[in-house]
Structure 1
């Protein structure tokens, strides 16, 4: 119970408490169990209906709605209104229902005359799982390659954010928190370190990134440092390299009917020239993402001064990470 969302700042909550593939999962309303095991085909519909009701109930004052759909995380499921209706398989059905969900939110905002006084942010949490399409980027979910980290974000606020912009400024999900606080007139907490930055100047004026660097972390270690066009993989392991470079590499833990969605076998180390077996770190890799977004050309040896600068940033950030996280096992 100590980890319930209602004990961490949320006034109300509807949802499953963890990933939908940790089956069977339960559906909670606040701290009350509603359904166990939950019928996942109904989740998108139920979340949407509760979100609409929440907006209606709070239309007279400021509100914050966080709507993280379980779909399209696997196992996939769609409600009766969308199942087998898209003509593009189950994944297409799920996406069509999510599209409907977004439409219902916007329709409600318009009907309540809240459309021009509401900031809406739409984003993903990570890249696709094994077998998904990264549009040519290396890696996938759970890796530090661009295919695992880079996701789209859409911000909409009529009259405040110019429409139809395409912005390639480097930012992160950690920036959403201070951005929302600033627009709501709420001070950013001063009693703790807040790594995020206010993105509103970027969204409204295409200002430069407010970050000197952005970092990716897995477990208790920082994995990459991104500064300007440069990205340094500080602790790449053969497993990470294979996941990024192996075109036929998929999750070896399957099959379970859900995990594996690509008809390939796991690539072996001898199929990847130059890659060593095991989990010991391999030499650091540096990429210029402006010239090499697919992270195919390691230029660490050609730019030792960039490696040194990014390693300095890495050590400074690593020193700021609380010992409770650094020593986590």
Structure 2
């Protein structure tokens, strides 16, 4: 397929009346007179956490305390039916970067992603970063990338102006070594040995990015708009609190990634994450940019060993609700009303489509989005509507449910689930815990959703043999 390069849209175009028609129309739906008055493109702060369970945020669950995240959720819209695009991290990240189902790219079929120089997010594939960059945005990724390894793949090759973080799926919080016991901490594409607890280092870099002077290319114009992806490694294993540096010296002597830890340790990891988000949001406010910044918070998949998965069953690597239902909220002052709880079903790549719509950024027509723009629902111009979404998972690593295909479809309130040869049918309207299999009483629904899955499955890439 030949990719057509999108022309960069001039900043001056957006600073005049063009921004009103481009950003505010959003498919014919006016968003807010407040935005029209400012005539500014919004900044974007996207915060992605790693293995955070649905109930790990205090406002969702009952186990852990996260006051800063609770406050952020109250200042915007909190979703109760938000899903990750996959039950493990690389495919969900690929989905967010591209705005598409992860199974459209070979890299997202390597679950988990191995360190290889020939598997990654292709630099020529448009991403949310490359599209926003072409549209005049300053782009940065702080934290976990996990979408391919050097020398062929990196955030700098996929639209980000700058990168500070780790390439692999997991690093020690103190030594910053990966599971191969190799240092994995980078400034761009240069390896750096920087002391500190990883969560704190990512917070500090995000604060620095937000508080630096922004370029002002035209008289009386806003500073250059930014898109910052802050991808914390927390609360992903290893189970290390900020005071556990001594533990980190011997942690990788064990190959058991489920070893150790406790709910108390997990609570301390979450607290440092919550404190970090609080500092980032305070920096945004102190810099005078909060009112013109869309803040989106999400997780890449369901929780792990110590997570509060709420009323669900299943965790990471499972297509039960606990493995894919994730906390998600969006704040946009003056546009999205605060203290809203929304039950619209959404998935990771909807967040991509929403960001592009809010910034007046066109997707590449050669790579059509799978996501939907959520803004009409967020501002009350469109009612909540049913969705039909698809998942498919098969690990390529021992220690996981290796070799067994899992499949899932959510269509309205119905949930079709396949694990190997076993099929299930649940009605999530009154059975979010997926306890009652209704397939025998609803054979037509079972057949319809099974067929829908097979139709979708034929349109995406097959798993490697």
TM over 0.5: yes
Q: Specify the SS of the correspondent of 1:66.
A: strand
Residues 310-319 or 107-116, more deviating = 310-319
Pair 1:102–1:43, CA change in 2 (3 A): same
Q: Is the aligned partner of 1:169 residue 2:308?
A: no
Partner residue of 2:234 out of 71, 78, 98? 71
Q: Distance in 2 between matches of 1:209 and 1:309?
A: 23
1:175–1:199 contact (8 Å) kept in structure 2: yes
Partner residue of 2:225 out of 56, 62, 77? 62
Partner residue of 1:27 out of 181, 185, 196? 185
1:171–1:211 contact (8 Å) kept in structure 2: no
Partner residue of 2:419 out of 218, 236, 240? 236
1:49 is aligned to: 204
Structure 1 consecutive aligned stretches of length 4 or more whose deviation exceeds 4 Å:
80-83, 208-211
2:416–2:424 contact (8 Å) kept in structure 1: yes
Pair 1:206–1:134, CA change in 2 (3 A): farther
Q: Specify the SS of the correspondent of 2:312.
A: coil
Q: Distance in 2 between matches of 1:61 and 1:81?
A: 40
Q: Distance in 2 between matches of 1:15 and 1:93?
A: 21
Residues 121-130 or 43-52, more deviating = 121-130
1:278 is aligned to: none
1:110 is aligned to: 285
Pair 1:298–1:58, CA change in 2 (3 A): farther
Q: Distance in 2 between matches of 1:152 and 1:225?
A: 20
2:21 is aligned to: none
1:167–1:206 contact (8 Å) kept in structure 2: no
Q: Distance in 2 between matches of 1:167 and 1:109?
A: 25
- 1:206 positional shift: 7.6
- 1:148 positional shift: 0.5
1:316 is aligned to: 455
Q: Specify the SS of the correspondent of 1:50.
A: helix
Greater RCO (Cα-Cα under 8 Å, separation 6 or more): 2
- 1:165 positional shift: 0.8
2:235–2:269 contact (8 Å) kept in structure 1: yes
Q: Specify the SS of the correspondent of 1:89.
A: helix
Q: Distance in 2 between matches of 1:222 and 1:210?
A: 26
2:266–2:306 contact (8 Å) kept in structure 1: no
Pair 1:9–1:112, CA change in 2 (3 A): same
Partner residue of 1:6 out of 148, 151, 156? 156
1:275 is aligned to: none
Q: Distance in 2 between matches of 1:47 and 1:298?
A: 44
The answer for unaligned runs of 5 or more in structure 2 is 1-150, 172-177, 215-222, 247-262, 396-404
The answer for unaligned runs of 5 or more in structure 1 is 238-280
Q: Specify the SS of the correspondent of 1:52.
A: helix
Q: Distance in 2 between matches of 1:158 and 1:49?
A: 24
Alignment of 1:1-329 (within 5 A): 1-20=151-170, 22-23=178-179, 24=181, 25-35=183-193, 42-57=197-212, 59=214, 60-79=223-242, 89-205=264-380, 207-208=382-383, 212-219=387-394, 223-233=407-417, 235-237=418-420, 281-282=421-422, 284-321=423-460, 325-329=461-465
Q: Distance in 2 between matches of 1:294 and 1:327?
A: 29
- 1:9 positional shift: 1.4
Residues 307-316 or 104-113, more deviating = 307-316
Q: Cα RMSD (Å) of the superposition? A: 2.4
Please list the CA deviations of residues 58-101 of structure 1 after superposition, one character each: whole Å capped at 9, or x if unmatched. Answer: 64221111111111111133445999xxxx83322222211111
- 1:310 positional shift: 1.6
- 1:211 positional shift: 6.4
Please list the CA deviations of residues 21-43 of structure 1 after superposition, one character each: whole Å capped at 9, or x if unmatched. Answer: 542241011000002xx76x511
Q: Specify the SS of the correspondent of 1:205.
A: coil
Q: Specify the SS of the correspondent of 1:185.
A: coil
Please list the CA deviations of residues 200-223 of structure 1 after superposition, one character each: whole Å capped at 9, or x if unmatched. Answer: 122222844566411112139671
- 1:130 positional shift: 3.5
1:197–1:210 contact (8 Å) kept in structure 2: no
Q: Distance in 1 between matches of 2:305 and 2:448?
A: 33
Q: Distance in 1 between matches of 2:393 and 2:226?
A: 33
**Could you tell me the TM-score, scaled by structure 1's length?**
0.77
**Could you tell me the TM-score, scaled by structure 2's length?**
0.55
Q: Specify the SS of the correspondent of 1:326.
A: coil
Aligned residues: 274
Q: Specify the SS of the correspondent of 1:299.
A: coil
